[in-house]
Amino acid sequence: MSVLKSFFKDTIIYGLATVLPRLMNFVLVPLHTDTLDTASYSDNTYFYVYAAFFNVLLTYGMETAFFRFFSKQKEQSKVYSTTLISLLVSTLIVFAIVMIFNQPLAEFVNLRLDYFNYLIGVLVLDTLVVAPFAYLRATGKPIKFTFIKLSNILTYVILNFFFLWAIPKFNIEFSGYDKTDSVKYIFIANLAASAITILFLLPYFLKTKWIFDKAIFKQMLNYGLPVMIAGLAYVINENFDKWLIPDVLGKDTNGAYAGCYKLAVFMTIFIQAFRLGAEPFFFNHAKEKNAKNTYALIMKYFVICGALMLLFIVGFIDVFKALIVRDEAYWVALEIVPIVLLANLFLGIYFNLAIWYKLTDKTRFGMYFSIVGAVITIVLNVILLPKYGFIAAAWTTLLAYAIMMMMSYVLGQKHYKVPYQVSRILGYIGFAVVLCYISFKHLRGNYFFNVALMLIFIAGIALLERKELKQLLRRR
């Protein structure tokens, strides 16, 4: 149980590094949706779709490869310095090439030149800190990791409020300020926050022995490239709808869709916090005697927590919409929220299952699964969006992640069998989905009954898991 205790401790700390920034971002959603109309909010979303895509390209799977080889190699400093040098050199080369051709590239991705330049600046700075952040996680320094992450988001939030709220409200004189182009200042705030982050992490560049090991780099590259392709496919799964909707349904619809998509962020926070703690944990404890049983136990309680979160958000969805997306123009897309929440829960299960191909060095399977998901996402969105509207995009996301999850489980049991309690996990998900349907369709706004539904779910868990829960509490 000390192993599990270590996992949960790290996950909680990393969770703070994820939850607090996301909560701060929640503060920004009302600011952005109040300040920007739906079309401008679509531009903001479009910017970050490209940021996600190019971020995967620039890191080319080296972060995951770092964790794998850092836990295997005796000379861990060489793994870190090799990762650092490879990302530094490749990023600076790409930066130089892109800035030479920035005008035609900006036109190609349909972004204004100044927006495109901000995008490249953010991407370069964020890529350069990938290796130092991974090193902090791998060496068990979650508090420092969390502090730097929070410094980044605090800078971003404060500057957003300064540019979008304080300057207009108090008529602050600011050279060159353009009140008709609020979106630009969101990107400037992001660039400044990324610059602050790299300053904090400078010691991990300056105090490192710069040794580039070609053999290690080749192994990491072979391991990481399939991860990169899987990452690109994942970005397509997450963002293709927001890229396509402006052309098919219009920017206003895309802005409303993207705004309501933000209401599913609680599940995203939970999943990201889990991944930050789980990935190094899974690699570091792979050789433990009961490792597979531990993975199965973590999966079950991950699903329980995710299902409860699903119930909570759906039960109080009208509260969240009033707090986070206050402009009623955005509410036309509210019906996507339960679907997207369930899709994200499936994605979290998929990430949990992914440990089998990462531990067995068969990362190509992650690539295959993600490509299948991307194909489903592209084909169904192209076919269904014009006919059924944005709701088709939400259902497509759910289907893509469900198929990826099932494929990973089936093949994982052949290559790295983990004794997951499948029937119980499916039962918990099914029970939560039924209760969510009742809540969303028949009990909207009736918070007494929605709380009762959550208590029923918790009581069912407590009844079925009482023996195991007692054992876990005794060994704590």
Number of independent structural domains in the chain: 1
| Neighbour-count burial for 289-298, b at 16+ CB within 10 Å, e otherwise | eebbebbbbb
Q: Which residue has the higher pLDDT, 18 or 132?
A: 132
Q: What is the mean pLDDT of the chain?
A: 87
Q: What are the residue ranges of helices labelled H in 208-335? A: 214-248, 251-261, 265-284, 291-315, 317-324
- For the chain, the farthest-separated pair of C-alpha atoms sits apart, in whole angstroms, at 66
* Overall average pLDDT of the 84-110 stretch: 93
Structure tokens at 396: 């497509």
CA–CA dist 130, 83 (Å, integer): 9
Question: How far does CA 238 lie from the centroid of its chain?
Answer: 9
Residue 58 has pLDDT above 80, yes or no: yes
Exposed/middle/buried for 395, CB within 10 Å: 0-12, 13-18, 19+? middle
Using pLDDT thresholds of 50, 70 and 90, give the confidence band for residue 383.
very high
In angstroms, the Cα distances linking 46 to 147, 232, 239 are 29, 16, 9
- The reported pLDDT for the residue numbered 286 is 64
Q: What is the pLDDT of residues 112-129, one digit of tens each?
A: 899 999 999 999 999 999
Q: What is the pLDDT of residues 250-298, one digit of tens each?
A: 888 888 898 888 888 778 877 877 776 666 667 666 677 777 888 888 8
Q: Which residue has the higher pLDDT, 167 or 474?
A: 167
- The reported pLDDT for the residue numbered 133 is 93
Rounded to 5 degrees, φ, ψ at 316 are -115, 30
- The reported pLDDT for the residue numbered 381 is 95
Question: Which pairs with CB-CB distance under 8 Å and at least 24 residues apart come from 241-246?
Answer: 241/377, 241/381, 241/385, 241/390, 241/393, 241/394, 241/396, 241/397, 242/45, 242/46, 242/49, 243/46, 243/49, 244/381, 244/382, 244/385, 244/393, 245/385, 245/390, 245/393, 246/42, 246/46
Q: What is the pLDDT of residues 155-177, one digit of tens each?
A: 999 999 999 999 998 988 888 88
CA–CA dist 157, 73 (Å, integer): 40
Using pLDDT thresholds of 50, 70 and 90, give the confidence band for residue 13.
low
Q: Which of 18-22, 135-139, 219-223 has the lowest mean pLDDT?
A: 18-22
Residue 350 has pLDDT above 60, yes or no: yes
* Overall average pLDDT of the 210-224 stretch: 91
Q: Which residue has the higher pLDDT, 369 or 367?
A: 369
Q: CA end-to-end span of the chain, whole Å? A: 7
- The reported pLDDT for the residue numbered 175 is 83
In angstroms, the Cα distances linking 4 to 277, 278, 281, 298, 404 are 11, 11, 10, 8, 27
Q: Which residue has the higher pLDDT, 363 or 193?
A: 193
Q: Which residue has the higher pLDDT, 472 or 169?
A: 169
Q: What is the pLDDT of residues 321-346, one digit of tens each?
A: 888 787 788 888 899 999 999 999 99
Q: What is the pLDDT of residues 60-72, one digit of tens each?
A: 999 989 988 886 7
* Overall average pLDDT of the 424-439 stretch: 94
Q: Which residue has the higher pLDDT, 290 or 218?
A: 218
DSSP 8-state secondary structure symbol assigned to residue 171: T
* Overall average pLDDT of the 107-112 stretch: 86
Range of the domain at 403: 2-474
For residue 206, the surrounding DSSP H or E stretch is: helix 203-206
Q: Which of 29-43, 89-103, 232-246 has the lowest mean pLDDT?
A: 29-43
- The reported pLDDT for the residue numbered 40 is 82
Residue 370 has pLDDT above 80, yes or no: yes
Residue 81 has pLDDT above 70, yes or no: yes
Using pLDDT thresholds of 50, 70 and 90, give the confidence band for residue 1.
very low
pTM above 0.85, yes or no: no
- The reported pLDDT for the residue numbered 5 is 57
